Amino acid sequence: MITQTLAERLAAIQAGIAAAATASGRSPADIRLIGVSKTHPASSIAELAALGIHDLGENRVQEADAKRAELDATHPALRWHLIGHLQTNKARKAALLFDMIHSVDSLRLAEALNRHAAERPAPLPVLLQVNVSGEASKDGFALAHWQHTSAIAEPFVAEVAQIAALPHLRIHGLMTIAPYTDEPGAARATFHSTRLLRDTLAAQVPHAGWHELSMGMTDDYADAIAEGATFIRIGRALFGERPRNMG
């Protein structure tokens, strides 16, 4: 049962972001909060926008499309981020609907998005979603043990170079989801590995952009900030628990 207002919950998260940033010598201004509005109505997004948060995370193309249709006229400054798995057959709609896609997890999907992004006025900003923990339930390029296994790292770097060459996409960095576990330090290890992977890609595919690290959710955003997150994706701590089985 959440008794606080949205403004109070947002203030608590912003204090948490500031504390985590300061603790690791970073500026809170370098960390952008994405309000994960999946399952919540357009009215919740309008309420968040009135408090100054204009980045929204959605995990379903259809749902985001409906909310954008409701909000575009009154809230043209909102930035819509796709954070959920994307099927190739929805690539066209996604390429035209979203301001950034965090969940590019295959060369095939990147190529499909690239074809449709040609219809946009400017290239489509994307992040590559990586699964460095090896958790079976996670989407993303499968990269467990990439640091010690050149048979994993090398083909990945080659695919990334192909994605970086697609003219209608712009890579901005990486996205990851930490494993669901109570094991202390597991989330932080995932974020650390993701940051090292970003640094490796920045050296090996230098003509792409590698500034952004989208990592950290309600339960683990402080660890993500300590490891360099530039986008954190917060749902429950802002909007409360979601209905079950709805992402």
Ligand X SMILES: *Cc1c(COP(=O)(O)O)cnc(C)c1O
State the residues that interact with ligand X by CB under 6 A.
36, 38, 59, 83-84, 177, 217-218, 233-237, 247
Secondary structure element (H or E) that encloses residue 116, with its range: helix 107-117
Residue 110 CB burial class (10 angstroms; 0-12, 13-18, ≥19): buried
Q: Are 143 and 160 in contact (CB under 8 A)?
A: no
* Residue number, 60 or 115, with CB nearest to ligand X: 60
CB of 247 to ligand X, least distance (A): 6
Short-list 12, 64, 72, CA closest to 41: 64
Q: Are 138 and 177 in contact (CB under 8 A)?
A: yes
* Residue number, 113 or 166, with CB nearest to ligand X: 113
CB of 115 to ligand X, least distance (A): 25
Residue 75 has φ and ψ, to the nearest 5°, of -130, 65
* Residue number, 148 or 183, with CB nearest to ligand X: 183
Number of other CB atoms surrounding residue 16 within 10 Å: 17
* Residue number, 173 or 235, with CB nearest to ligand X: 235
Residue 205 has φ and ψ, to the nearest 5°, of -125, 65
What distance in Å separates the CA atoms of residue 85 and residue 237, rounded to the nearest whole number? 22
CB of 15 to ligand X, least distance (A): 16
CB of 91 to ligand X, least distance (A): 18
What distance in Å separates the CA atoms of residue 230 and residue 211, rounded to the nearest whole number? 8
Q: Tokens 């920045």, residue?
A: 202
CB of 118 to ligand X, least distance (A): 27
CB of 224 to ligand X, least distance (A): 11
Residue nearest to ligand X (CB): 235
* Residue number, 56 or 166, with CB nearest to ligand X: 56
Q: Tokens 């403004």, residue?
A: 7
* Residue number, 60 or 168, with CB nearest to ligand X: 60
